[in-house]
Amino acid sequence: MTNKIGQTAGEVWRLLEKNHQITLAQLKKKISGSPDLINQSLGWLAREGKVNIEEKGKSVKISLN
């Protein structure tokens, strides 16, 4: 399972490199994998200090640090 989370985290990272900032809803549409797997990958990246996760109104915005 850790491998899948790491691979998905890599996909998230590459997507954010291209887009600078993206909403969680957009991210889940563009990345293959279950919503739980994507959330786990974001948690991993956040814990490592690689991404910012901000709640703005009803949406959640994600960007690289």
Over the stretch 1-25, which tens digit does the pLDDT of each residue have? Answer: 888 999 999 999 999 999 889 999 9
**Domains of the chain and CATH, by start:** 2-64 (1.10.10.10)
Query: Cα 21–25–29 angle (5° rounding)?
Result: 100
Count the Cβ atoms, other than its own, within 10 Å of residue 46: 14
| Sheet with strand 59-64: strands edge to edge | 21-23, 59-64, 51-56
- Cβ-Cβ contacts under 8 Å for 45 (sequence gap 6 or more): 9, 12, 13, 51
The verdict on pTM exceeding 0.75 is: yes
Over the stretch 27-63, which tens digit does the pLDDT of each residue have? Answer: 999 998 899 999 999 999 999 999 999 998 999 999 9
